[in-house]
Structure 1
Amino acid sequence: MADDTSKRGNEDRRKVAAGEEYEVAYFARKHGIEHEQALALIEEIGNDREKLDQAAARLKTA
């Protein structure tokens, strides 16, 4: 089932939905990482955007 993109409350903004291709693509593009790396981070850390942003930054500097 597709995400309802008209519902953009604070709760939705704090998460990255791994099942939504456009969200994963945006996250990967935003951090300059590969799509597979983004999916691996989401699987490892969960869908909390703040934690994912921090992990992506560490990944990019490594």
Structure 2
Amino acid sequence: MGNEDTNFAPNATGPERIDVGSDEALRTWAKRLDVSAEQIREAVAKVGDRASDVELHLKGSRSTTNDDRIEAAK
């Protein structure tokens, strides 16, 4: 991991955790992951507070599959 990874967390729970009890942390994570604070809360409720798990969950829920792209092109 590079230095930028260790500075990713905006809260005191550590660089890999999201503190949903902190409005500031929620705003920062929401901005970094380009989602709403509510989406961060929902993702943490589903997959836990590890930032990498939350990011993967959110990206997975927003991404399209190849089948989706083929259907859209028809």
TM-score, structure 2 normalization: 0.61
- In structure 1, the partner of 2:35 is 33
- In structure 1, the partner of 2:49 is 47
- Kindly name which structure, 1 or 2, has the bigger radius of gyration based on alpha carbons: 2
Amino acid of the structure 2 residue aligned with 1:35: A
1:17 counterpart (16, 19, 23): 19
Count of residue correspondences:
54
- How far residue 46 of structure 1 moved from its aligned partner, in angstroms, is 0.9
Runs of 4 or more consecutive aligned structure 1 residues displaced over 4 Å after TM superposition: none
Structure 2 gap segments, 5+ residues each: 1-10, 65-74
Cα gap change, 1:27/1:60 in structure 2, threshold over 3 Å: closer, same or farther? farther
Amino acid of the structure 1 residue aligned with 2:33: H
TM-score, structure 1 normalization: 0.70
C-alpha distance after superposition, 1:3-39 (max 9, x if no partner):
xx6x6xxx61110011011111111111211111111
Report the aligned-residue RMSD. 1.9
Aligned partners of 2:62 and 2:30: how far apart in 1? 11
Structure 1 gap segments, 5+ residues each: none
Amino acid of the structure 2 residue aligned with 1:12: G
